[in-house]
Structure 1
């Protein structure tokens, strides 16, 4: 079963690959199409006859980048295939084969017997080119070169380049999907860590409660005072566990900022994201716990909502700043976890700011310098 998250990742991967294809390949394809049209069109009606082949090739290429070629492959192939014999027999256009070659090479991915289809495409281009001999017999050698050998050779080259391009983008697609699976796995690990923390809080407590209740049962007859003491301690222990569980649920459990930075770095690296950590100063332990919560929440948000490739974490004497690329959309996503933390930071005299600009997302939690401890160590950890 494909989860909604996996579907979102797949759509995101397709979008990025489509943009790569359009940016890198569409301009030269359009240039080649217009150049060939210019070279072969000696009158306006020549251009009118040859234009459908060019349009069919461009439509097929655009749909190929969108992974939607199957829907238009046959109509585009029919149009482009019809232009080539008209160009060879009527307009005398030796480059009219380009449309059927472009569409045919792209459409190979839609058929099972690709080798047979490629041979058929080559044979069609050469055979139609040879029909030029029916209307032009003065220079047989020139006709064979211009209408048969050159189109056939270039068809082979274009087909091979298309196949290689397909393999290249398949590799990119696999790498993107692997990266996204790593990011999803990192989120799962974070959830497992939460479950582990919950187990640490409740597992030990429940075991102790069980022992104390068993002891109280034994003491009810011979030592009621001690039994009452054991029950009071059990009640206090359960109350404390409930409080710790609530703190954990709201990401308020005491955190070690250094450990959180290391954990965030490990999570990002596991997801294939380059991370750079800069320590310009140190903060006191009370502020450090809150900054650790901000870092943990931001780390989870980056892994869940962004398509990040780089993350910069900067710790200063006045707070922490996390900047990542890969932000989607024009407006910052509503992040409920950061909203709750923003109120807690404000209650403690600080400020939490979230800003998105030019595909970069910046989360910063700052406190007045009075909260900052004197930096005992200064360092930088770049990775």
Structure 2
């Protein structure tokens, strides 16, 4: 499998933000059109209200791309004047929509004093709306399309102050909660990555333990036999020669076992590998389901165990898996995981095992389909004895 080009948290947050873009942008644009259409009474009103709407849409699109910081202040500078101009010139109770939208997207990302800035936004919207109360009674109107309706102070207070302020508070709180949700997702993804890294470290520790088992005992015996041979070299040369031959045999056998361990050729217990893989996946927060349709033949179980071990390491290191399915039969094993990276399948560590299986009459395949990576090692049923 190919290495991930991006950090897992970046990928997860990117998917969530793109989902927001695809689901929320159409109704956002519809709301913007409605806001402008409802309040426009003359052609020049569009010139006053449209910049706030455009700034809000641009800010939202950049927010979904996790790039709101680059456009926040320019968009806010464009959207903020639209509210007072809309109140005093157009008579638009909805002109606050642009500045409230832009600010609510950017404020949760400020490095400090974000809550104070949120309170300032609410005060700004309420104060500008209250300016409409200072306009003479003959000019106090609410506009619906081309129609204009005279209203009293209570209606002005409701339309220009209470409703805009309440909605600004609502969307600002919602944005802070949403940003906290993304923070939690990031923390969970980082925790999951740490678990996966810990699982790989455990596997390395296990490898080190196997290496110690192979070499530690042998080196201790070699040390004792060497000391004995030194004592016997003059008093009993034949016995000393026998000890040296045994030392040579022990060293040669240790070299062979070390090579087998390094190349994944040491004899493995398939049942133990299944249990180990289950523990590693669960430690990494990955759901695992093991189906044992039949027990593998002794002739093939060792290589199947090596395939399972290598595939487990690949999934933990390179995939974004949330679930793994392992199916064991008398003639083979199949491991399927989701979260497979797109692109060409590269066996790498499995390539050596594929050659060994081929020489032994087996087949090792790897494929990606619909986001799932499948590794399958099998022996023709007719050849299994």
Tell me how far apart the structure 2 counterparts of residues 252 and 237 of structure 1 sit (CA, whole Å).
19
Match of 2:374 in 1: 362
CA distance in 2, matches of 1:300, 1:34: 53
The equivalent residue for 2:39 is 40
1:344 is aligned to 356
- Give the distance between the partners of 1:8 and 1:233, measured in 2 at CA: 53
1:95-142 alpha-carbon deviations (Å, 9 max, x no partner): 121111111122222152223212211121122223334372352322
| Aligned positions, number | 369
* Corresponding position of 2:203: 190
> Counterpart of 1:72 in 2: which secondary structure?
helix
Mapping 1:96-107, distance limit 5 Å: 96-107=95-106
Structure 1: 5+ residue stretches without partners: 374-383
CA offset at residue 271 of structure 1? 0.2
Match of 1:232 in 2: 245
Confirm whether residue 162 of structure 1 aligns to residue 194 of structure 2: no
Distance 1:368 1:290 in 2: 14
Q: Could you say what the CA RMSD is over the residues aligned between the two structures, in angstroms?
A: 2.2
Checking the alignment, whether the CA contact within 8 Å between 1:13 and 1:177 is kept in structure 2 is: no
- Please, which of 227, 234, 237 is the counterpart of residue 221 of structure 1? 234
**Mapped partners of 1:99, 1:116: distance in 2:** 20
**Is the partner of 1:100 in helix, strand or coil?**
helix
Q: RCO greater where, 1 or 2, for CA within 8 Å and sep 6 or more?
A: 2
Range with bigger deviation, 202-211 or 22-31? 22-31
Distance in 2 (CA, whole Å) between partners of 1:111 and 1:218 is 75
Please say if 1:119 is aligned against 2:119. yes
Decide whether the 8 Å contact of 2:297 with 2:331 is kept in 1: no
Given candidates 165, 179, 198, the residue that maps to 1:152 is: 165
| TM-score (norm. length: structure 2) | 0.89
SS in 2 for 1:365: strand
Correspondence 1:92 to 2:91: yes
For residues 79-106 of structure 1, give each alpha carbon's deviation from its aligned partner in whole angstroms, at most 9, with x where no partner exists.
1112222322333322121111111122
Secondary structure in structure 1 of the residue aligned to 2:7:
helix
Alpha-carbon distance in 2 for matches of 1:148, 1:13: 39
Q: Hey, what does 1:143 align to over in structure 2?
A: 156
- Structure 1 residue aligned with 2:72: 73
2:146 corresponds to = none
Q: CA deviation at 1:318?
A: 2.1
Report the counterpart of residue 376 of structure 1 in structure 2.
Answer: none
CA contact (8 A) 1:351 1:367 kept: yes
1:193 and 1:63 mapped to 2: Cα distance? 46
Contact 1:325 1:361 in 2 (8 A): yes
1:320 aligned counterpart, secondary structure: strand
Verify the 8 A CA contact 2:4 2:318 in the aligned structure 1.
no
Q: CA deviation at 1:253?
A: 0.7
CA distance in 1, matches of 2:14, 2:347: 24
Q: How far, CA to CA, are the matches of 1:261 and 1:341 in structure 2?
A: 18
The answer (yes or no) to whether the contact 1:108–1:118 under 8 Å persists in 2 is yes
Asked if 1:131 corresponds to 2:144, the answer is no
Q: Hey, what's the Cα distance between the residues in 2 that align with 1:260 and 1:43?
A: 76
Separation in 2, partners of 1:329, 1:41? 49
For 1:23 and 1:336, the matched residues in 2 are separated by 37
Deviation at residue 268 of structure 1 after TM alignment: 0.2
Partner Cα distance (1:148, 1:118) in 2:
17
Is 1:327 the counterpart of 2:340? The answer is yes
Q: Structure 1 pair 289/47, CA: closer, same or farther in 2 (3 Å)?
A: farther
Cα offset for 1:7? 7.4
Gaps of 5+ in 2: 141-149
Runs (4+) of structure 1 moved beyond 6 Å?
Answer: 4-7
Aligned equivalents of 1:44, 1:311: Cα separation in 2: 61
Q: Which moved more, 1:180-189 or 1:300-309?
A: 180-189
Q: 1:291 aligns with which of 283, 304, 320?
A: 304
